[in-house]
Amino acid sequence: MTADTMHSEYHQDTAFQPRANRLGLWFFIMSECFLFGAFLSARYFTTGTFRPEELNQKLALAITIVLLASSISAYLAEASMAHNERKRFALWTTVTIGMAGIFLIGVAIELYEATLHYPPGTPYGSAYFMLIGLHAFHVITGMVGLFIVLFLGMRGRFGSDNYWGVEGVVKYWHFVDLAWVLIYPTLYLF
C-alpha cells in the first residue's frame, strides 16, 4: 500500500487530502510566525529601536522590492498551473527563482558590509545577523521547493485539478515575503 491510498478507505472524496494539506500548511506557517516572533522580540529586547548609520538603505530597499515582486510572479505561476498553462508556469517559476537569487546576492552584499561596520559581536550586529540569517535560510528552502515544483511541473506531474504541490510551495513563498515585511522595518526603518 502506498501512502496515497492509505486513507482511501474512509475518505473517498478527493477534496479531503488538499483540505488537510492546506490546513496543515496554515498551521505550519502560524508555527513559523512564532519562531520569527521570538527572534524579532529578541532584537527589540536587546537593542530597542537603535540602528547604525552605516546601513545600506538603498540596497535594502531595492532587494525588498525584488522580493515583494517575486510574490507576484509566484502567484502568477500558481494561477498558470490552475489554468493548466504549463509553459507560463515554468516561465513564472523561473522568474521567481531568479528574483530570489537576486535577493540573496543583495543579502550577501549587505552581510559583507555588516561585518565591516556592525559585526556580530555588537548588540545590533547580533540581532542583524540572526534575523537576516534565519530569513535567508527560509529563502533558500523556498527556492529548493520552487526548484522541485518546477522540475515536477515540467515533467507533467501537476494539472489544473491537481496542483497542491505548487500551491503549497507558493503559499510558503508568500510567507517568506511576509516575514521580510516584518524584518525589513525592524532592522532598517525603526
Partner 1 sequence: MKYVARGLVLAVTGYLSGVALTVIINGNGATDELAVIAGYVLALIGWLAGVGGIEAFGRQWIGKTPKVSESQGWKRYFEFSIDHKVIGIQYGVTLISVLLIGGLSAMIMRIELASPGMGVVDLDDFNKIVSMHGILMVAVAVAGVIGAFGNYVIPIQIGAADMAFPRLNALAYWLLPPVAVGLLGAPFLGAFNAGWTSYAPLSVTNDSGQILFNLAIITFGLVSILGALNILVTVITMRAPGMTWGRLPIFTWAGFATSLLAFTVTQFFAAALVLVTMDRVAGTAFFSPDVGTGLLYEHIFWFYSHPAVYIMVLPGFGVILELVTTFARKPLFAYKAVVAALLSIVGLSVVVWAHHMFTSGMADFLHGPFMILTEAISIPTGIIFLSIIGTLWQGRLWFRTPLIVAFGWLFNFLIGGITGIFLADVATDIHLHDTYFVVAHFHYTIVGGAIFALLAATFYWFPKITGRMYNETAGRIFGIWVTLAFNATFIPLFWAGMNGMNRRVGDYPAAFEGANKFASVSALILGASFLLFVGNLLYSAIRGPKAGPNPWNARTLEWLVESPPSQHNFHSQPRIVGHPYDYGVEGSIHAHFPDEEPHAEEQREEVTV
Which residues of this chain interact with partner 1, rule CB under 8 A? 1-4, 6-7, 9-11, 16, 19-20, 23-24, 27-28, 30-32, 34-35, 37-39, 41-42, 45-46, 119-123, 125-127, 129-130, 148, 151-152, 155, 157
Residue with smaller CB distance to partner 1, 32 or 85: 32
Residue with smaller CB distance to partner 1, 15 or 58: 15
- Beta carbon of residue 130, minimum distance to partner 1 (angstroms, whole number): 6
Residue with smaller CB distance to partner 1, 61 or 152: 152
- Beta carbon of residue 68, minimum distance to partner 1 (angstroms, whole number): 25
- Beta carbon of residue 76, minimum distance to partner 1 (angstroms, whole number): 23
- Chain mean position to CA 47: 26
- Chain mean position to CA 94: 15
In 3D, which of 135, 64, 55 has the Cα closest to residue 102? 64
- Beta carbon of residue 69, minimum distance to partner 1 (angstroms, whole number): 27
Residue with smaller CB distance to partner 1, 20 or 105: 20
Give burial (CB, 10 Å; 0-12/13-18/19+) of 90: middle
As beta bridge partners, residue 162 has: 159
Q: Which cell goes with 19?
A: 483540505
In 3D, which of 168, 98, 178 has the Cα closest to residue 135? 178
In whole angstroms, give the CA distance from residue 24 to residue 172.
12
